[in-house]
Amino acid sequence: MKKWMSILLTALLSIAVLAGCNAENKNETKETEASKPSDNNDSKQITALVGLQMEMIHTIRKNLEPVTAYEQSQDAALQEEAVSSSKLIANELRGLEIPSDLSKELQGDMKESVELLALYFEERAATLKPDADLTEMDAALAAFHEKIGATFEKAGLHAPNFKKDVQ
């Protein structure tokens, strides 16, 4: 009988300890949930930034083939289409909507970044001719990477590199 009584007492004590631990976990959960709004806001901003980055890449890739075809071949027959495609990319980039989930500061930074990338494609259109000076085009791409890198780092992300996406 003493054996059963000690087992029952141990079981009750274990249940009481577990109930106490569960109560502490609920309090910690409430504290964690109270701190979630800022985490949730950060998460929305990160999602919005990465989404905008993907839109920019998609906009570039869908119209880039004529540009790269001309640059590789230097075929005069492809030049006009390449220039048109490069200008089209610039215009479509400017038409991208900056997500409202971003803070006002990040929205402004991303507008500037998109504009710098559009300027790069305008410079690229201007250099689509034999023996063109690529200095301005390279400077525009560098300025874009600097701006977008700083913007992504403000949000706690690594700076993106669009170099492979524009070639």
Structure token digits, residue 20: 């106490």
> Which positions ≥6 away from 55 have C-beta within 8 Å?
96
- Higher pLDDT: 166 or 58? It is 58
- Report yes or no: 49 and 157 within 8 Å, Cβ to Cβ: yes
Per-residue pLDDT tens over the stretch 122-160: 999 999 988 889 999 999 999 999 999 999 999 999 999
Per-residue pLDDT tens over the stretch 7-35: 645 554 556 555 665 655 555 555 555 44
pLDDT band at 80 (very low <50, low <70, confident <90, very high): very high
**Distance from C-alpha of 97 to C-alpha of 161, rounded to nearest angstrom:** 21
**Distance from C-alpha of 39 to C-alpha of 45, rounded to nearest angstrom:** 10
pLDDT attached to residue 99: 95
Structure token digits, residue 112: 């500037």
**Element at 144 (helix H, strand E):** helix 135-154
pLDDT band at 3 (very low <50, low <70, confident <90, very high): low
pLDDT attached to residue 35: 47
What is the DSSP annotation of 18-40? HHHHHHHHHHHHHHHHHHHHHHH
Per-residue pLDDT tens over the stretch 92-116: 999 999 999 999 999 999 999 999 9
Q: What average pLDDT does the chain have?
A: 85
> Which positions ≥6 away from 146 have C-beta within 8 Å?
none
Largest CA-CA distance found in the chain, in angstroms, rounded = 101
